[in-house]
Structure 1
């Protein structure tokens, strides 16, 4: 196993070598191909952090371990290069996925945007398996999803060995490591894939893995000199809160009320608690469904489908729910009790806001939760048990602590925030109740640690401070210390919590096997009055007023007409029901908010909205444009709005005089079009898709004010198209297409429309 390098992106040299297909490809060519498929299929015009580097590993044939937070666009890291490789040479990427539900969701999402994909698992009928096999042989699929136990059978491996496999992507790769929080023995068999597919790279993807787990993933999968790409563990769009459990149902209800009509997940420790909570919420008029392993498979599946189709707003579940759910618009996650590790908490809370929009995560905790989970660790072998206890303790410290929630989470994974005020947690938003004089209180505690010669742990220190007459205190003469009983007017539990908060904020440190308290440099500064801690009051209360909206959540709504957004959500639900797919397959909340912000009136404007690619534009564009137009007319709203701060390259107007910045790639295509080259030939020359080349041509026409479409379109077809636009208007292509009974293609219509718009501008 190779040592893990620093978490830096791969170099151009490493990614510019021969691709997995064996043909030399320049780094820039790979990047442009990736940008093209992102635009043409997903409707995105930029990469999220580390996506480009991870995708380039996929195209360069370099093994990798990729760690990106939930919602960081991890799936795109293998889907986009799979689409590029399939366009180039018909190769298929094999994706290992642990859950049937997750496979189906991802395949549905890919096929909805035009990327050919399929899955093989136990749910497929024999005829469907035969059809998938045929598509693979005929090189019709870009992605094939399979469960680990399905993939490693001799029959499957022999079959795949006959195909052109571009690479193997292993999702939830932490499952291969016994140090991971969700170890699955069947994942260990995947180590054979590196040897079986020697010409294809192998990549491990996960959202939750510290350095020890990352190294073990590489070792167990037999990766060859892998690139380690580790993104930030921070999720700035999530607002984290932690509260002691008190009237749990009332606390849950407050969150649900804040997100009325929005999707949310409530986690409970027991099945009984799931049923009670779901029933109580339904009694309060909330559309809630339960989900746990005690229900039949059919019941779980039906409730999951209701949640995905927005027929239920809230799912109340045990941890049996979630890993297979790719729903991006979950606006809140509530834990009615502590999960068993900080990794589990990060993953489960991370199911909120996968679309990047502001969302809320509330952790309700009690000492009984901690004791319950600790009792379950007794049967583990010594080393894994110590690892599990460390993670459980870290989560308990997080819940009890006064450190910024975002900072506390990322610190556990070896990272840090640049700011001391995240603006998106109960600590930084000032929602928690703090003690009146934290400096004096902190000085008393640190002074006691000093008087004890830094030789005792937190429990004994708390006993001395509260004036305990225990044998341990009296036998050591610690009742004679000047700090004895300094905090006798406070409960021992409160003092114990303050000690942990001082540890969490770095004023004290736990050292050695017995967690002896020692004073840090920051603690010395505290004694001198140079640094002040934040210490929570023993009785923390939820603010009576509505909690503040974080800056991230506020930005999400900048310029958005909320009533139009709600109407578009209703339309999305109607469309989803008609096509029998989850609502987010149509458009996610980020797309709908951008529509309600820009309020486009034509296909050109709608295509500028986030996540609106050509396939979705064709399938759903007319329906949403009609609704936007009707709503704006009825309510007197301005249409075709250019959002403030939007870059010129990301904005456009209508065909009539609308402007859009010309991209550098389009400019490179201009000489080809000037010489009369058609779209298909230009696409081959530029190594981009036909639709991308058509977009470049449209920019060329508008930029040069070229008004003669017959350079690229048959004169008879151009004349018919012009007559159709004069009859139906230029705002949308579909009316003209239907007016002509489909005798003129959409591509030709686009060219004629661009020339007509150029002549008018």
Structure 2
């Protein structure tokens, strides 16, 4: 029992001015005050910090709070200081302090002024800190963001695994572990590692009924994001990206498009990070574009949207990050942009890691894929993942997701589910989802041949249905409880008791048609120009093609030299009526707009007026000038006649990617003289032959068509180099 002289309710009123607790806060606090190990699983915004802050203020000694991020500590220390006249009530002890500051903190703790001391897990490994903490009276240890302990957690930190022996060295006092996201597997892992299997466990509902969940295909992301934010002017939001580079780039794009946005990532110095965080909290900016380093412990109740530019590595990460929206119970819109290419990119990052870590990582990613691609109620899917059942008809927030708001077609799948469950039962649960899909659709993968299941009665038994149908059926059966997923063996499927009951007494089972994410952009979310005249306005596209043909004839150049098809298609979406707006069109730079643009914007302006077209100006995205110096550096090196492969190497780019960059520079209207390099690669006759082809015979600038025309006499690289010379000299 921890000594205290007032009740939790009295203390709540005295320190925080509240009359009542949220959810199970009071029970948690009483458990800790009784000296019991306590484990709290409470969603973001549920009031976890109160569970250790209040007991710390009520009891004798100092509570040690282990926290993973310096920004998180600063934010929480600032918050707790608001309830006291004395700043000494809470401190943090980490690497951001100099020796004088650290000594002042220790002095306040020794004098008994400090009730909460926040430390990083790394700090507990230092002997001087262990010695210091061993010399003071500690009320209890609070392990915040406890999922960091588990290898199955979404933010595993190895130093968290060493906490228990460190705590025992210092003082054997009660431990309270807290997390916003924990599956049953993660929960058990945390308890085992902290030596608190006897802990009182408090698990709140994971249902954030006010959040709207939506997955969008990763197409033209920047435009979609700008449109979404401009429709919510003045509202606060967070956008998460996986890389620092993307954070910087997107924050710049938002800024030049009139949105008050700032970047936040670990590559910024501590002062800048703190400044950006404070500006967001004080509403000097509306949007923070961040890596996942941002938001943990940020107590801003009115974040109205959370956007994932890149899909996260796990559903735990997704749940925690979306949980930063609508903490006040108000509107919270959560959008994630999804492309399977992003998943493949994340899988590549796992290569080279220990096998067990790879397997865990792959399984967590597959859960994300299942969530993103499912057509069932997203809230039901998400809550099932965290071990909670949800009624998608009458449950709170049942219609708050894209799938329930705009339901997909359902088909009777009773016979298919019977086949699926029989197959899983026959194979005795030794295989993962992909294996069963391949087996049923009759796909001879290496492992199916190895197990000789290509000779099984189930091989190809479901080939009348597509792979996406079977993956959807399996996901639904997992959520329905017919199929279980064995976590220890990294996701193998097995038949449950409920599944066995269904086989014995089958009933109607409606399978939902799956979302289609096959036609999406690259993993960076940039625009993939449409091919073959798939314009938004077919009439205007036809007019622009005729105009292009006329101008090409006047200038004695092929039509694609004036503007390529993707550029014309983009014009039929954006309707640019000034040369400045024309520069926002894919593949049109300042030089090209000036040279060829005026007749096009005149025709479009006339067309817009005559047809009373409402131009989607919120779709017009101003691009950011390349400030990296990369373009300038390339042009200067070409002027110096440095070999292109040498320049590519200096830019740390593959030669193929470097050629793409050169093509972009030329497409924007800049002339590049690369004769010195081409003359070393090809003889004069070859250059002339390819150049003439593009000038006289080519119907488009397609390299594939050119390759076929010359029967493979020239490599794609050689053809691209001559095309660069051609476009630079003729188009610019």
The two structures have a TM-score, normalised by structure 2, of 0.61
Contact 1:405 1:425 in 2 (8 A): no
Map of 2:108 onto structure 1? 135
In structure 2, the partner of 1:532 is 510
> Using the alignment, how far apart are the partners of 1:431 and 1:222 within structure 2?
45
Alpha-carbon distance in structure 2 between the residues aligned to 1:364 and 1:67: 28
Assess if the C-alpha contact under 8 Å between 1:98 and 1:172 holds in 2. Answer: yes
Task: Give the secondary-structure state (helix, strand or coil) at the position aligned to 1:123.
Answer: coil
Equivalent residues in 2 for 1:151-230 (5 A)? 151-198=124-171, 200-223=173-196, 225-230=198-203
CA distance in 2, matches of 1:523, 1:366: 37
Alignment partner of 1:82 out of 50, 56, 66: 56
- Tell me what 2:528 maps to: none
Aligned to 1:332: 305
Cross-structure match for 1:690: none
Q: Structure 2: where are the runs of 5+ without partners?
A: 520-732
- In 1, are the aligned partners of 2:238 and 2:305 still within 8 Å (CA)? yes
Instruction: Give the stretch that moved more between structures: 126-135 or 347-356.
Output: 126-135
Hey, what does 1:238 align to over in structure 2? Answer: 211
How far did residue 197 of structure 1 move? 4.7
In the alignment, which residue of structure 2 is the partner of 1:590?
none
Q: Is 1:304–2:277 an aligned residue pair?
A: yes
Matches within 5 A, 1:639-678: none
Alignment partner, residue 685 of structure 2: none
Q: Secondary structure at the match of 1:45?
A: coil
Report if aligned partners of 1:92, 1:139 keep a CA contact under 8 Å in 2. yes
Residue in structure 2 matched with residue 375 of structure 1 by the alignment: 348
CA shift, 1:254, in A, is: 4.3
CA displacement, residues 180-207 of structure 1 (integer Å, 9 cap, x when unaligned): 3222222233223543454632222222
Equivalent pair of 2:213/2:402 in contact (CA under 8 Å): no
In structure 2, the residue matched to 1:147 is: 120
Give RMSD over aligned pairs. 4.0
- Kept in 2, the 8 Å contact 1:243–1:540? The answer is no
Distance 2:151 2:197 in 1: 21
CA pair 379-84 structure 1, distance change in 2 beyond 3 A: same
Which stretch has the larger CA shift, 520-529 or 249-258?
A: 520-529
Aligned pairs for 1:572-721 (under 5 A) are none
1:540-570 deviations in whole A, cap 9, x for unaligned?
99xxxxxxxxxxxxxxxxxxxxxxxxxxxxx
- CA drift of 1:477 comes to 9.1
Q: Secondary structure at the match of 1:391?
A: helix
Q: Is 1:42 the counterpart of 2:16 in the alignment? A: yes
Shift of 1:366: 1.1
Tell me: CA distance 1:539–1:136, structure 2 relative to 1, closer, same or farther (3 Å): closer
More deviation in 518-527 or 323-332?
Answer: 518-527
Q: Is the 8 A contact 1:406 1:422 kept in 2?
A: no
Query: 2 CA distance for matches of 1:516 and 1:192?
Result: 37
**Secondary structure of 1:322 counterpart:** coil
Q: Judging changes above 3 Å, is the alpha-carbon distance between structure 1 residues 353 and 526 closer, same or farther for their aligned structure 2 residues?
A: farther
Gap regions ≥5 residues in structure 1: 1-18, 542-761
**Residue number among 32, 35, 38 corresponding to 1:58 in the alignment:** 32
Q: CA deviation at 1:109?
A: 0.8
| Change beyond 3 A, Cα 1:443–1:287 | same
Question: Where do 1:358-397 residues align within 5 Å?
Answer: 358-397=331-370
User: Which whole-Å CA distance do the structure 1 matches of 2:415 and 2:224 have between them?
Assistant: 34
Which of 408, 411, 416 is 1:439 aligned to? Answer: 411
Q: How far off is 1:362 after superposition?
A: 1.4
Match of 1:107 among 69, 72, 77: 77
Give distance in 2, aligned partners of 1:358 and 1:265: 14
Alpha-carbon distance change, 132 to 540 in structure 1, aligned in 2, over 3 angstroms: same
Moved more, 258-267 or 148-157: 148-157
Q: CA deviation at 1:107?
A: 1.2
> Distance between the aligned counterparts of 1:47 and 1:177, measured in 2?
29
Q: Aligned partners of 2:214 and 2:295: how far apart in 1? A: 20
| 1:464-543 equivalence runs, <5 A | 486-487=464-465, 492=466, 494-506=468-480, 509=483, 521=499, 530-536=508-514, 538=516
8 Å contact kept, 2:380–2:391:
no
Inter-partner Cα distance in structure 2 for 1:529 and 1:224: 41
Displacement, 1:54?
Answer: 1.6
Alpha-carbon distance in 2 for matches of 1:242, 1:526: 37
- TM score, norm. by length of structure 1: 0.58
Q: Report the Cα distance in structure 1 between the residues aligned to 2:34 and 2:445, rounded to whole angstroms.
A: 67
Q: Is the 8 A contact 2:441 2:467 kept in 1?
A: no
| Distance change (3 Å), C-alpha of 1:317 and 1:189 | same
Aligned residues: 505
Is the Cα contact below 8 Å between 1:194 and 1:201 reproduced in 2?
no
1:262 alignment counterpart: 235
Distance 1:399 1:255 in 2: 20
Structure 1 residue 239: deviation in Å?
Answer: 1.9
Change (3 A) 1:470 1:418: closer
Partner of 1:281: 254
1:347-387 alpha-carbon deviations (Å, 9 max, x no partner): 22222233443312112211112212223223333333333
Distance apart, 1:433 and its partner CA: 4.7
